[in-house]
Structure 1
Amino acid sequence: MTSSDASVAAKSVPLGPDDPRQLGTYTLLGKLGQGGMGTVYLGRSQRGRLVAIKVIRTEAVGNAEFRARFRLEAETARRVARVCTAEVLDADPDAEWPFIVTEFIEGETLASYVKRNGPLADANLEQLAVGVAAALTAIHSAGIVHRDLKPANVILSPFGPRVIDFGIARTADEGSGLTGDLQQLGTPAFMSPEQIESRPISSAVDIWAWGGLVAFAATGHYPFGEGSAQVLLYRALHEEPRLDDVDPALRPIVWLSMRKDPAGRPSAQQLMLRLLGDPSGTGPEAAPAVNPEDVTNVLQGWQLPIPGPGATGPTGTGGYTAGPDDATRLPGGPGGYTAGPD
């Protein structure tokens, strides 16, 4: 390994004896995280570009259901426009070690940042709300539902927020035929009532999660407080989210996005219009397309405050997570891969 490669590999933990060294044309440099479906590696393309490579876990390679999930992810994720998301660069679901490749995004997860520094400042909070809504607009436009939007799946990159991990995404217009736990995946603190009750899933589940995520970024607390998974799910079904400390400018749209009835929530485009100052964005009719330049203008000047001398914890690097379960940040690696709802 060259000195340059050694510097890059410091962003991850060393490869173990059972880890591959090469996948297709990509050289593996280290391990970023792992979860229920597989492992995420830091890699380098033939042209020298850093990438994040998600590999399906070896014990599931022969499982047709897992293969179907991975194939579906690869096919759908490549349709997502690169708007505040991690771009999908390559995939080989038929390889001996099936993998999907995305751009490597430098940065800390929202979960880790808020844990170390507290809630986002007003300007950063607005930019986060707009950036994540823009990402959902791109994801939903491709016919995909993310299904597990949460603070651990948002990277605060040097250029703005980026939504990652389509590991449990599914095309909204096509039944996958998958059964069991794969059909009702998510993180309890951000799961919508229809997910909890095993009702039909639509893009509205991501809108609910957007509201919870913005509330978390604004307050440092989950929208339904702390507690066991069972407690949080009960509150999501029967109580209103705790939004008293959310910025008054954002509170109405966050509340609207977390209505119990999915039909009453705005679409991602309607969220965007409302955030960009168009009150018609709250209407039930389909909203006109959002101008990407408006999003760029909002994100101009994005810069997170530098942590003070009392701050502790990793600076963090992130990328595409290992889903469908919550990815685990490996010990010693400064990556944005965290366990649970953080």
Structure 2
Amino acid sequence: MTDALETLRSALTAEYDVLGEIGRGGMATVYLGLQRHPRRKVAIKVMNPAVPSPTARDRFRREIELAGQLSHPHIVPIFAAGGAGDLLYYVMPYIEGEALRARLERGPRLGLEEILHFTRDAADALAYAHAHGIIHRDIKPENILISEGHTMVADFGLAGACDACGFERLTMPDTVMGTPGYMSPEQAMGSAKSDERTDIYSLGCVLYEMLVGEPPATWPDRSSARSGRMTDTPPEHRRSLDLVPREFERVLAKALAKEPEDRFATAAEFHAALTSLSVRPAAARPGRFWRVAVVVATAALALAGALALILSR
């Protein structure tokens, strides 16, 4: 038994049975717990490593409790937060399901209806949180949970809590909160002006990955947002994008604009654009295959006409 687990069990014994570790990442370890009253399974996330300052613990708890006031069907709620010895933790419901990351790795490739459903629900969650002054700043497939077709976004308030207690400066000097591959350009550059549009960009990266198979290779230039067509994408990505309806790419390009002012102004606007999309057969998209098919069909018709003319003489 680890020292952290012993500390956690000792501190939480009045309220929870801490059953054991169920997940571990660079920033936190997650334990399965059983709350005594009411009787229910919970997930207890403990930050790695410990943050010893009492002031830091108080700031962390305040930020997490602020996020805990969010109540939305697509946001994983937070039940409690606090310190156990020199550990920082917060408690949330144990979700029976899987992270979007696991679903993407398991396969098969998601259909357009599922992609639209997951993205729309996540955008709805962002719109609600932003309206309450909370920016996520780490939207990625690992933080989007799927349970029986229901989508929930986890870890709201974590970035703000880590900032408030100086966690990232203690654990990851010279870095910023966020995950490479999903961070907006301004977030990656450490801009203090990052706002809710950074979450829009990150969710755009998740949408891109669901459509293509991996996150964007580069930050799209301004022309992508203006033309509604992703430019400078690798050939294999371009082939996948050519198979989706044109409106999907138009919305995607706007969400992924390099300059914040070229993106959707709000997550609510992004959600509205996603809601307006309809899923229709890929044949409606005039990609390279269809252009070639038209050329071949036209040539065949011309040849048939010429043969008919010759035979009629």
Question: What is the TM-score with the length of structure 1 in the denominator?
Answer: 0.65
Matches within 5 A, 1:73-222: 73-93=63-83, 97-166=87-156, 168-170=158-160, 176=164, 178=166, 180=169, 181=172, 184-199=176-191, 200-222=193-215
1:27-48 alpha-carbon deviations (Å, 9 max, x no partner): 1112122334432111111122
Q: Which has the higher helix share?
A: 2
Highest Rg: 1 or 2?
2
1:136 positional shift: 0.9
Q: Is the 8 A contact 2:64 2:158 kept in 1?
A: no
User: Unpaired segments of 5 or more residues in structure 1?
Assistant: 1-14, 225-234, 279-342
1:95-142 alpha-carbon deviations (Å, 9 max, x no partner): 664421111111122112112214211211111111111111122122
| Higher normalized contact order (CA 8 Å, seq sep 6+, divided by chain length) | 1
Match of 1:334 in 2: none
Match of 1:268 in 2: 267
Q: Is the 8 A contact 2:146 2:152 kept in 1?
A: yes
Q: Is the 8 A contact 2:56 2:165 kept in 1?
A: no
AA partner of residue 276 (structure 1): T
The count of corresponding residues between Structure 1 and Structure 2 is 250
AA partner of residue 268 (structure 1): A
Q: Partners of 2:145 and 2:75 in 1: how far apart?
A: 9
Matches within 5 A, 1:240-255: 242=233, 244=238, 245-246=240-241, 247-248=244-245, 249-255=247-253
AA partner of residue 236 (structure 1): W
Q: Partners of 2:55 and 2:88 in 1: how far apart?
A: 14
Matches within 5 A, 1:23-34: 23=12, 24-34=14-24
Q: Is the 8 A contact 2:21 2:32 kept in 1?
A: yes
Q: Partners of 1:164 and 1:106 in 2: how far apart?
A: 13
Would the alpha carbon gap of residues 60 and 18 (structure 1) be closer, same or farther in structure 2, given more than 3 Å must change? Answer: closer
Matches within 5 A, 1:41-60: 41-46=31-36, 47-57=38-48, 60=50
Matches within 5 A, 1:273-312: 273-277=272-276
Q: Partners of 2:253 and 2:220 in 1: how far apart?
A: 15
1:251 positional shift: 1.4
User: Unpaired segments of 5 or more residues in structure 2?
Assistant: 223-230, 278-313
1:241 positional shift: 7.0
Q: Is the 8 A contact 2:59 2:165 kept in 1?
A: no
Q: Is the 8 A contact 2:220 2:257 kept in 1?
A: no
Q: Is the 8 A contact 2:65 2:80 kept in 1?
A: no
Q: Is the 8 A contact 2:32 2:44 kept in 1?
A: yes
Q: Partners of 2:60 and 2:129 in 1: how far apart?
A: 17
Match of 1:257 in 2: 255
Q: Partners of 2:69 and 2:263 in 1: how far apart?
A: 25
Match of 1:236 in 2: 219
Match of 2:5 in 1: 19
Q: Partners of 2:25 and 2:101 in 1: how far apart?
A: 17
Q: Partners of 1:69 and 1:122 in 2: how far apart?
A: 42
Return the match for 1:67 from 57, 66, 80.
57
Q: Is the 8 A contact 1:83 1:138 kept in 2?
A: no
Q: Partners of 1:64 and 1:154 in 2: how far apart?
A: 31
1:238-260 alpha-carbon deviations (Å, 9 max, x no partner): 69574632422421111101111
